Amino acid sequence: MSEVEVVEAARRTLGPVGVLLPVSTAVSVAIDRQRDAVATLEEAGYRAAWTNELMGKDALVQLAVLLGATKQMTFGTGIANIWLREPQTLHAAASQLAEAYPDRFVLGIGVGYPQQAEEVGRSFGKPVDTMRDYLVRMEGPTLVPVPQASYPRIVAANGPKMLALAADVADGALPAGQPLEFTERARDLLGPNRLLVVGMSITTDEGQQNGPGDVAEAVRGHLTAGADHVMIMLPSGGDYMEGIGQLVQLSPPIVGISR
């Protein structure tokens, strides 16, 4: 598929709104509970779910299991960390998921933080240069042929320089925790042919959690500002299954939102 076709396919399958799976660093959630959780989210009407990645957790392995546990749900990495694997390996793994589950996988990729580079004995460098080099090397030679399967690559970008990079060498961008004005600027920088996924917290600046109606209104705001898809984010560190229940409670006014 062409770049435009890849983006259009992602827009169709992701739909306007999805969820970031609850983030827990204190415990390892049993995979059977995760399977049940995404099946519950799919039954609640969500069309897409995303997962984070940190040292000790491989997001692509997790999503390989969860894709098989759902019928039509699309999954994305929000985000895959570049320090945890070589670029050709990431491309090969993403291509295999895209081959196994056509149009149901989106690769979000990010440079992360200096301490994450230090954890694997690497130098962080200049973030934009580091990300550009990584994206270019994803297409480098491999000893085993990589599956010829298309998938969208979007870059975690909370600033204008990374957004410009995303517009130049990726299929789009994934800013998170930014106001509506940033979504508008991101769309302007990316142009119409790039995928814009926006990570939106349900927590206000005052630390309060919005209810379903307010969350739905905020989602519509980002879509109007130019987002293709809004990823709803719960506060980190809570109980995993309680978080799933909270996402289900939020779903009635959200899953029917259209662009």
Report residue 228 as tokens.
């293709």
Closest CA to 73 of 33, 21, 22, 18: 18
Please classify residue 30 by burial: count the beta carbons closer than 10 Å to its beta carbon, then call 0-12 exposed, 13-18 middle and 19+ buried: exposed
Structural domain includes residue 36:
yes
Structural domain includes residue 31:
yes
Structural domain includes residue 211:
yes
How confident is the model at residue 206, as a pLDDT? 77
Residue 248 contacts residue 40 (beta carbons within 8 Å): yes
Structural domain includes residue 96:
yes
Give the whole-angstrom CA distance, residue 238 versus residue 141.
Answer: 42
How confident is the model at residue 211, as a pLDDT? 93
E strand or H helix at 91: helix 87-100
Mark 5-16 as b/e (b = at least 16 C-beta within 10 Å). ebbbbbbebbbb
Instruction: State the DSSP string of 4-55.
Output: HHHHHHHHHHH-SEEEEPPP-SSSPPPHHHHHHHHHHHHHTT--EEEE---T
**Does this model's pTM top 0.95?**
yes
Q: Which domain holds residue 130?
A: 3-250
Structural domain includes residue 256:
no
Q: How far apart are the first and last CA of the chain?
A: 24
Give the whole-angstrom CA distance, residue 73 versus residue 83.
Answer: 28
Structural domain includes residue 259:
no
Considering its fold, how many domains does the chain have in total?
1
Residue 218 contacts residue 199 (beta carbons within 8 Å): no
197 has which bridge partners? Answer: 229
CATH code of the domain containing 150: 3.20.20.30
What are the pLDDT tens digits along the chain (259 aa)? Answer: 899 999 999 999 999 999 999 997 778 899 999 999 999 999 999 999 999 998 889 999 999 999 999 999 999 999 999 999 999 999 999 999 999 999 999 999 999 999 999 999 999 999 999 999 999 999 999 999 999 999 999 999 999 999 999 999 999 999 999 999 999 999 999 999 999 999 999 998 778 889 999 999 999 999 999 999 999 999 988 899 999 999 999 999 999 999 8
The amino acid at 187: R
How confident is the model at residue 177, as a pLDDT? 96
Structural domain includes residue 255:
no
Structural domain includes residue 208:
yes
